[in-house]
Structure 1
Amino acid sequence: MAGTDIRQGCGNRFLGILVDLDNTLYDFGYAKEEACRRVVQAIGVGTADDLVRTFLFSPYGVESPKAIQSFLSEQGITDADVFMRAVQVYTKTKIEAIEAYPGVYETLLKIHTAGMKIGAVTNASHEHATERLIHIQTADLFDCLVTPDTAGMKKPDPAMFLHAAELLKIQPHQICAIGDNLINDIRPAKEAGMCTIHAEYGNRLPPEYSEGIIADFSISSFSDILPILGL
């Protein structure tokens, strides 16, 4: 599953990068799990693992508060006040638990200072994505933010990456796209004609879910993108 060694990068051809957010810039899985633990502690029933699974398999989306409502119903709780308290605990804990991976800010700042464009392509809503970038103090370093509710499309649609390239005013082949998810990030970026970088450190999917997708480069820390870009 590993791609090309990072020392074989060709930075002079790249003018910008597109990054995924969750599990690429920060450990979103941990933040979500921590938020679920706090909810279970607050209501006193159920398990955090069950709440996480309810979110993952919710027909309303992995970020919808309706997942909490479904979880409470399974526990026999229909009190609206309990639901509101659970949502408040979940929302507050999730954002507080988000912490940028080591070197993220410094790496993005170096790329920005070098004059390269930086964009984000995420399936999070624009509100959530903006909140998270502000929280890790990197929002000012981004030239564009592409989300489903603003672009009218979502990953793994390659059109989402092409739309970001248009916003950055850079040709796709001049862009490096980095993400933890081989299916949602790497495959569509490759189909869009971009160089791809797999953030292996954030990948939580087992190999059997990779569908044989191989990125151009694979990295074990976010700062490893610098030599690929020639910085």
Structure 2
Amino acid sequence: MTGASVDGVLFDIDDTLVDTRAAFAVAIGQVLRTYVPGADEATVARALAAWRADAGGHYRAYTRGETTYRAQRMTRANELHAAFGGPVLDDDAYDVWDEVFEAGFVGAWTAHPDAHDALRRVIGAGLVVGSLTNAATDYQTSKLVRAGLDQHLEVLVGVDTLGIGKPDPRVFVEACRRLGTDPARTAYVGDELDVDARAAAAAGLVGVWVDRPGPRRVPVTDADVAAARAAGVHVVTSLDELPEVLGLPG
């Protein structure tokens, strides 16, 4: 026991530790400049919002094990083109599209400014840390390395570990098992209110929602936030607030 309210912390990666929203902006910008001549910044912004929202729920279908990563990504790429004027992508054309997208996306992976210090403070207080992510383990490990965060933590559970992802409670329990902590003494920190914080709390962990300033991926109402707080979820706007939430020394 550390004296803190928990013994371990599991972190989401995208838009919690790594500024994935900004990286998506670069990737979508490159895609539109390549496939939709004349697309202006306002168009890019609308396309970015549509990509992040994923109104068809294709990525979540992937995390439920209902489709492959390639299939969901290709479907989303074609939906994006249909909405913003790009050509239909067959298998070969999609391969080229994906190279354009990934070049921009990977090249823009950077840590949020508050990530390194938050991890150092949590580890310095004697807590164990790891990550639970809804992307593939190797891909996310590469992301942590490029963002310089691999020195602090490793990916314990990815969507490929059990073939499913958040919000399924089994992935939270498995991540705690690998971390070596009791779920009740483990915090999960993520940027999505539903699949991260609320799902963690439902699985018996301490849910922490990082509600960073800026456009949310999907709408969240005041009633949603109130219900989450009532369920025991902690709400912060920066990882700088995490030590206080966890009861760590100043």
TM bucket by the smaller chain?
0.7 to 0.9
The worse-fitting range, judged by mean Cα deviation, of 87-96 and 215-224 is 215-224
Amino acid in the other structure paired with 2:112:
Y
Matches within 5 A, 1:149-188: 149-188=160-199
Give the number of equivalent residue pairs. Answer: 222
CA distance in 2: counterparts of 1:206 and 1:11, whole angstroms: 36
* Closer/same/farther in 2, CA of residues 125 and 143 from structure 1, 3 Å limit: closer
- What's the offset of the Cα at 1:75? 3.1
| Structure 1: stretches of 5+ with no match in the other structure | 1-9
* Structure-2 separation of matches of 1:171 and 1:78: 47
Distance 2:122 2:47 in 1: 40
Deviations 1:129-165 (A, max 9, x none): 1121111111132255211111222111111111111
Shift of 1:109: 2.1
Label 1:11 to 1:151 Cα distance change in 2 as closer, same or farther (>3 A): farther
Deviates more, 1:200-209 or 1:82-91: 200-209
Code of the aligned partner of 2:224: S
Q: Which stretch shifts more, 140-149 or 76-85?
A: 76-85
Cα deviation, residue 11, structure 1:
5.2
Q: Alpha-carbon deviation of 1:99?
A: 2.0
TM-score, with structure 1 as normaliser: 0.81
1:206 corresponds to which letter in structure 2? Answer: P
Report what 1:3 is aligned to. none
Structure 2 CA distance for aligned equivalents of residues 225 and 54 of structure 1: 29
Tell me the CA shift for residue 199 of structure 1: 0.4
Q: TM-score, normalised by structure 2?
A: 0.76
Match of 1:68 in 2: 77
Taking a change above 3 Å as real, the CA distance of residues 143 and 114 of structure 1, as seen in their structure-2 partners, is: farther
Look up the SS of the partner of 1:207 in the other structure.
coil
**Which runs of 5 or more residues in structure 2 are unaligned?**
61-68
Letter in structure 2 aligned against 1:218: V
How far has the Cα of 1:41 moved from its partner?
Answer: 0.9
Q: Is the 8 A contact 2:197 2:233 kept in 1?
A: no
Matches of residues 1-231 of structure 1 in structure 2 within 5 Å? 12-45=4-37, 47-48=43-44, 49-50=46-47, 53=50, 56-57=54-55, 61=59, 64=70, 65-66=73-74, 67-69=76-78, 71=80, 75-77=86-88, 83-201=94-212, 204=216, 205-208=218-221, 210=224, 212-214=227-229, 215-229=232-246, 230-231=248-249
Deviations 1:105-129 (A, max 9, x none): 1221232233311111111111221
The structural deviation recorded for 1:103 is 2.1
SS in 2 for 1:13: coil
Preserved contact between residue 208 and residue 234 of structure 2 (Cα < 8 Å): yes
Q: What's the secondary structure of 2:170's corresponding residue?
A: helix
Distance 1:188 1:51 in 2: 26
The corresponding residue for 2:65 is none
C-alpha contact 1:143 1:168 (8 A) present in aligned 2: no
Tell me the amino acid that sits aligned with residue 122 of structure 1.
Answer: T
Aligned letter for 1:61? Y
Q: Give the CA deviation at 1:27.
A: 2.6
Q: How much identity, in percent, do the aligned residues show?
A: 24
